[in-house]
Amino acid sequence: MNFNSQTISIRPALKAEADILAQLTLYSGSNLMTTMFGGEKNVSRVIEKLCKSDSSVFSHRFSYVATIPQNNDAENEASQPVGIVTVHFSGQDAELEDTVSMALLDQIGAFHSLMLWPLTVMFHMCSLPIAQGESYVGVLAVHPDYRSRGIGAKLIESVEKDAYLAGDSAICLDVEIDNDRGLRFYERCGFQTVAVRHAPFFLQCRRIRGLRRMKKTLR
């Protein structure tokens, strides 16, 4: 793939590309999402519904995508997204609704949704609240074919500018404890670990080890 970091563009995500947003979102934590969202058969559809929704944590409204020109056509506006970042600036959490339960109910039915409930509760036990005045990055992923070319760094850079303009003083995020590459990447971008929460036993059995909260102060 022939491109340099100057040719990477960042733009707001579109509702119409929810299927691509869902694929990219899944790369940010496929085991975690597959476990929490009803297994391999259902996970893509559940995430797609959440990307389409206007008020879910994964909504297209809170997402930005990285594109690169396809077929050497630098003007091609229809370039497909190859990376995604989803960010909630301080205060935007008020716009979020519990659309996850609805999407699960719709996709996997009441019985299976209920079976997942204990896992959801356990997962919440290892997440931490977000302080006032901080932006939260919920998703960051680059398509495997396009990694190690500066796209992830560009997405984070763009979020940092927007968070600063929104008046936030820091950006925080959670990365899975065993995601060594993600950890290295965020450290290189200037994030520091502020807390580590290990998952309860039943999540550990599903290879969900826990979350590392990282933070970067904006100046």
Contacts with ligand COA by CB under 6 A lie at: 5, 27-29, 140-142, 147-153, 175, 179, 181-182, 184-185
86 vs 113 by CB, closer to ligand COA: 86
Give the CB-nearest residue to ligand COA. Answer: 152
34 vs 113 by CB, closer to ligand COA: 34
Neighbours of 196 (CB within 10 A): 13
Shortest Cβ 121–ligand COA spacing (Å) = 22
13 vs 175 by CB, closer to ligand COA: 175
Shortest Cβ 57–ligand COA spacing (Å) = 13
Contact between residue 24 and residue 145 where contact means Cβ atoms under 8 Å apart: no
The residue count for the chain: 219
All residues at 6 or more sequence positions from 76 whose CB lies less than 8 Å from its CB, including other chains: 69, 70
147 vs 206 by CB, closer to ligand COA: 147
Shortest Cβ 66–ligand COA spacing (Å) = 8
All residues at 6 or more sequence positions from 128 whose CB lies less than 8 Å from its CB, including other chains: 174, 195, 197, 211, 213
Shortest Cβ 48–ligand COA spacing (Å) = 18
DSSP H helical segments within the chain, as ranges?
A: 18-27, 30-36, 40-52, 99-125, 151-165, 180-188, 201-204
Query: Pseudo-torsion of CA 71, 77, 82, 83, nearest 10°?
Result: 150
Shortest Cβ 112–ligand COA spacing (Å) = 26
32 vs 170 by CB, closer to ligand COA: 32
Structure tokens, 146: 């396009």
Structure tokens, 25: 């979102």
Selection from 31, 174, 36 nearest residue 100 by Cα: 36
108 vs 155 by CB, closer to ligand COA: 155
Question: Tokens 């975690």 map to which residue?
Answer: 32
Distance CA 188, CA 116 (A): 36
Shortest Cβ 114–ligand COA spacing (Å) = 28
